[in-house]
């Protein structure tokens, strides 16, 4: 697979789209981004010292119903990388990789559909390594802090690429999910309510139990109750 390393780019997810016409898998990394993007249109702080990686993947008959597996694999790749440096990561549904209660990375997936199948995916991962995250008000953690030693962006990038290129399955994703069976706070729009997190379905929906009734969430904010 082709791997391109850039000093600076607006967004690796945007840059990698120039390879769509070639229909070949490729990974693009940058030392910093000037216009990094997070989920729901949020900006993503991308100072030097982090790992900013996008992978363009073309799929062979991946059903759209199974698209969550792309996101799950990205989260697993980050968890494997964190463990390699001695950190203890966990996944909070759907794709937040945490150490303790603080966020280690951002993951953004853009899928291109062809009928009932996913033609290609652009997988964006922004991993905090030794970059300054103090502006985020304590909600983020770096790999260096989680590992208890200095970790360079170069060695973290190498490990992340290696782990990303190694296959994973849904059971490995579930291995890193720690909050199932616990009471969580669910926020949907302007509604917030407690519920028990029961399981994550193979299509990525979170099954919860509320007042004795089971339902599956496609999207919501979930936090573990203190």
Domain residue spans in the chain? 2-175, 183-224
Express each pLDDT in 54-70 by its tens digit: 999 999 999 999 999 99
Of the listed ranges 49-53, 58-62, 207-211, 220-224, the least confidently predicted one is: 220-224
Phi, psi of 8 (to 5 degrees): -145, 140
Model confidence at 170: pLDDT above 80: yes
Q: Mean pLDDT, the chain, as a whole number?
A: 94
Query: What pLDDT, on a 0 to 100 scale, did the predictor assign at position 47?
Result: 86
**3, pLDDT greater than 60:** yes
Task: Please determine, for residue 97, whether its predicted confidence score (pLDDT) is greater than 70.
Answer: yes
Neighbours of 4 (CB within 10 A): 15
Note the pLDDT of residue 9: 95
Where are the alpha helices (H) located in 45-169, listed in sequence order? 68-84, 143-147, 153-165
Give the global pTM: 0.93
pLDDT of residue 226: 47
C-alpha 58/C-alpha 52 separation (Å) is 20
What is the distance in angstroms between the CA of the first residue and the CA of the last residue of the chain? 44
CATH of domain 183-224: 2.30.30
pLDDT of 44: 63
CATH architecture of 2-175: 2-Layer Sandwich (3.30)
State mean pLDDT over 88-107: 95
Residue 91 pLDDT greater than 90, yes or no: yes
* Residue among 80, 90, 60, 100 nearest 169 (CA): 80
């Amino acid at each position: 697979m082709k791997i391109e390393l850039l000093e600076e780019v607006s967004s690796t997810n945007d840059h990698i789209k120039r390879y769509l016409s070639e229909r070949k898998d490729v990974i693009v990394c940058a030392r910093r981004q000037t216009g990094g993007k997070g989920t729901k249109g949020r900006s993503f702080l991308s100072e030097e010292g982090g790992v900013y990686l996008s992978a363009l993947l073309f799929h062979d008959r991946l059903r759209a119903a199974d698209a969550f597996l792309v996101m799950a694999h990205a989260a697993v790749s980050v968890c494997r990388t964190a463990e390699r440096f001695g950190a203890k990561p966990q996944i909070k549904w759907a794709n937040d990789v945490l150490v303790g209660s603080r966020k280690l990375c951002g993951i953004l997936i853009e899928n291109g559909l062809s009928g009932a199948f996913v033609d290609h995916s652009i997988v964006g991962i922004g991993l905090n390594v030794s970059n300054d995250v103090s502006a985020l008000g304590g909600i983020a953690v770096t790999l260096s802090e989680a590992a208890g030693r200095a970790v360079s962006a170069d060695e973290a990038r190498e490990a992340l690429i290696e782990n990303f290129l190694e296959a994973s399955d849904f059971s490995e994703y579930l291995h890193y999910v720690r909050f199932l069976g616990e009471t969580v706070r669910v926020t949907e729009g302007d509604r917030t309510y407690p519920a028990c997190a029961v399981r994550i379905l193979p299509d990525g929906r979170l099954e919860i139990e509320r007042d004795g009734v089971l339902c599956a969430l496609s999207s919501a904010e979930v936090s573990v109750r203190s």
